[in-house]
Amino acid sequence: MGIFSGLFKSRDKPENRTAGSAYAFYMGGTTAGKTVTERSAMQMTAVYSCVRILAEAVAGLPLHLYKYTDGGGKEKALDHPLYRLLHDEPNPEMSSFVFRETLMTHLLLWGNAYAQVIRNGKGEVIALYPLMPNKMSVDRDENGRLYYTYYRGSDEAIKNKDFAVTLQPSDVLHIPGLGFDGLVGYSPIAMAKNAIGMAIACEEYGAKFFANGAAPGGVLEHPGTIKDPQRVRESWQSTFGGSGNANKIAVLEEGMKYTPIGISPEQAQFLETRKFQINEIARIFRVPPHMVGDLEKSSFSNIEQQSLEFVKYTLDPWVVRWEQSIQRALLSQGEKAEYFVKFNLEGLLRGDYQSRMNGYAIGRQNGWMSANDIRELENLDRIPAEEGGDLYLINGNMLPLKNAGAFANTPTDDGKEENPDEEVLEVEEPSTDGDGSGGEDSVSQRYHRRGKLV
C-alpha cells in the first residue's frame, strides 16, 4: 500500500498542453503572424459557426434524470431535486438551455467546462453556476488529492492570490475535453492555432484587397522628378483607393504611367485557400462541411446520411462525456445505483415522415411497440388503456417453428385421431316443408378436409 500511496502522491500536476511542444499559446502567436486566442478565434466565421452548431445542439437536446424500476425498466425521476435543475433551471439566473450552451462553448474553446455546485446542509445540489475556464487552475495537494483554484479577478491574464478561491472536487462540475492525463482537456483552439491563424490572415488579406481598390498595388512612373511624391501618393489613394472607388477611370498627366506589380487573387488561389481553411476548421470540430455552408460535396442523396453521421460520430461522444461527468459529480454513491442521466437523441435521428411511419408499422405489427409508444414519439396524446392504447399486437398468421403442425394429430370427440388427409363428404338430412316436399336448401352438401372447409 505504501508503494501505491507514494505513486498516487507523486502524480504530475494536470496540464492543459503537451509538455515540450509548440501547442501552447505563448501570447497567441502563430506562424501566420496573427494572434489567436479563444476569444479572437470566435471572430473567424468558421470557428463561430462550428462552436454555435455544437453548443446549440447539446443545449437543445432533452435532458432527463431517470430512475431504475423494479421490472428492469426506467422512469423519469420527477420528484428528485436534480431533475428540475438539469431539465429546467440550474440557477435563478439562466435556463437549462443557456447553461448548457455556455458550458459547451467553454468546452469547445478551452477544452474544459466548469460549474460551481451549490449544496444545502443535506448535501443536495440546489444550484449550478458556470465558471470561466481561463480563470480556473487544477492542482494536487501534498497527499495527491485534486483541488480547484478559481480567480475572481476581472483580468483573466493576471491570477492574483488575493482573489483566489479554493474549491473541492465535490464543489465543481468539471467536464474535460480531450487530454493526455484524463483530468484536464487541451484547448482545441491552441492545438489548431496555426490553421485558424492562416484563416484569419486570408480573411484580413481579402478585406484589405477590397479596401485598396480591389486591384493589386502598382507603381506610378513619372518621366521627370516629382517634387512632392507624398502628395501624389495621397492624391492617388484618396481618388482611387477603397472599394467605393473601384473601376474609376484614372487620368494621368505629365507623362505619368501606372504599372501594376501584383498578381490577381485568382492566380494566387486566394479563394481556394480560404475555402480549404474553412474545411480545415470544420475538420477540427468534426462538423460536416454542409453545416457550415459548404454544399459542394452534398447532394439530395447523401445530405441526410451526413446529418446522421454528425449525430453518431460528432454529437454522441460529447453527449456521453456530459452524461458521465454529471453522474460522477452530482449523484452520491448511493444514488448512482438508482439514478442515471440521459440525453434524448431520438429527435435528431428521426428520418422523414414516410420512413418514420414505415418503421412504426413494422414495430406495431411485430409486437414491440404499442399505439401509445408510437404516439409518445410523435408527441401526441396517449390513448386510454381501457381503449387499447397499451396493447401489444402481433400478426396472427405467425407461430413458433416448434409449434408448426401441433394440431395435426389432435384427438377427436370419439377418441380417434384426426387424419388431415382424410376426405369426408357430409350430407344433411332433407328437410320437408308443409307439403312434405323438400325446400330449396333441403339438401346441402359440404365437401371438406377434416377441420377445414375447402
CA nearest 131: which of 146, 145, 113?
A: 113
Tell me the C-alpha distance between 131 and 125, whole Å: 16
Q: Which long-range contacts (CB under 8 A, 24 or more apart) does 426-430 make?
A: none
Say what percent of the chain tops pLDDT 70. 65
CA nearest 312: which of 355, 346, 359?
A: 346
Task: Read off the C-alpha cell for 388.
Answer: 387499447
CA nearest 322: which of 337, 307, 340?
A: 340
Instruction: Taking residues 126-149, report their average pLDDT.
Output: 91
- pLDDT digit string, tens, across residues 276-298: 788 888 889 999 888 887 777 66
- The CA R_g of the chain, rounded to the nearest whole Å, is 37
Which of 79-93, 270-284, 306-320 has the highest average model confidence (pLDDT)? 79-93
- Of the given ranges (109-118, 128-137, 194-203), which has the lowest mean pLDDT? 194-203
| Strand spans (E) along 102-206 | 112-119, 125-131, 136-140, 146-151, 164-167, 172-176
Instruction: For CA atoms 37, 39, 44, 48, give the dihedral sign.
Output: positive
Number of other CB atoms surrounding residue 277 within 10 Å: 21
Q: ∠ CA(154), CA(156), CA(160), 5° rounding?
A: 75
- Of the given ranges (94-103, 150-159, 235-244), which has the lowest mean pLDDT? 235-244
Burial class from Cβ neighbours inside 10 Å (0-12, 13-18, 19+) for residue 370 reads buried
Contact 100, 91 (CB under 8 A): no
Q: Which residue has the higher pLDDT, 326 or 245?
A: 326
Decide if pLDDT at 258 tops 90.
no
Looking at every residue in the chain, the average pLDDT score rounds to 77
Provide the residue count of the chain.
454
Q: Which residue has the higher pLDDT, 402 or 43?
A: 43
Instruction: For CA atoms 30, 32, 37, 38, give the dihedral sign.
Output: negative
Tell me the C-alpha distance between 412 and 420, whole Å: 12
Instruction: Taking residues 21-35, report their average pLDDT.
Output: 62
Q: Which residue has the higher pLDDT, 427 or 235?
A: 235
Coil vs helix vs strand at 117: strand
**Within 13 Å, how many C-alpha atoms sit on residue 52's CB side?**
11
The residues spanned by each domain of the chain are: 350-398
pLDDT given for residue 264 in this prediction: 60
Decide if pLDDT at 217 tops 80.
no
Instruction: Taking residues 372-383, report their average pLDDT.
Output: 85
What distance, in Å, lies between the first and last C-alpha atoms of the chain?
83
Tell me the C-alpha distance between 364 and 328, whole Å: 38
Q: Which residue has the higher pLDDT, 138 or 219?
A: 138
pLDDT given for residue 207 in this prediction: 73
The DSSP-derived string for 218-287 is: EEEE-SS--S-HHHHHHHHHHHH-SGGGTTPPP---TT-EEEE-S--TTTTTHHHHHHHHHHHHHHHTT-
- Of the given ranges (112-116, 133-137, 169-173, 433-437), which has the lowest mean pLDDT? 433-437
pLDDT given for residue 335 in this prediction: 93
Tell me the C-alpha distance between 324 and 75, whole Å: 19
Element (H, E) at 139: strand 136-140
Decide if pLDDT at 260 tops 70.
no
pLDDT given for residue 20 in this prediction: 46
pTM (2 d.p.): 0.70
pLDDT given for residue 350 in this prediction: 66
- pLDDT digit string, tens, across residues 181-216: 888 998 899 888 888 888 888 777 777 766 665 455
Decide if pLDDT at 44 tops 90.
no
Confidence of residue 341 (pLDDT cuts 50, 70, 90): very high
Confidence of residue 352 (pLDDT cuts 50, 70, 90): low
Task: Read off the C-alpha cell for 350.
Answer: 428521426
Say what percent of the chain tops pLDDT 90. 27
Confidence of residue 45 (pLDDT cuts 50, 70, 90): confident
Instruction: Taking residues 304-332, report their average pLDDT.
Output: 90
pLDDT given for residue 343 in this prediction: 92
pLDDT given for residue 129 in this prediction: 96
Instruction: For CA atoms 220, 226, 230, 231, give the dihedral sign.
Output: negative
CA nearest 37: which of 207, 180, 157?
A: 157
Decide if pLDDT at 319 tops 90.
yes
Number of other CB atoms surrounding residue 224 within 10 Å: 8
Number of other CB atoms surrounding residue 311 within 10 Å: 15
Instruction: For CA atoms 214, 219, 225, 228, give the dihedral sign.
Output: positive
pLDDT given for residue 21 in this prediction: 47
Coil vs helix vs strand at 165: strand
Instruction: Taking residues 262-275, report their average pLDDT.
Output: 63
**CA trace torsion 235, 237, 239, 243 (10° rounding):** -170
pLDDT given for residue 328 in this prediction: 94
Tell me the C-alpha distance between 310 and 47, whole Å: 17
CA nearest 349: which of 391, 392, 309?
A: 309
pLDDT given for residue 256 in this prediction: 72
Number of other CB atoms surrounding residue 279 within 10 Å: 14
pLDDT given for residue 26 in this prediction: 53
Residue whose entry in the numeric block shows the C-alpha cell 470540430: 285
Tell me the C-alpha distance between 124 and 84, whole Å: 13
- pLDDT digit string, tens, across residues 224-235: 676 677 777 777
pLDDT given for residue 142 in this prediction: 86
Contact 34, 25 (CB under 8 A): no
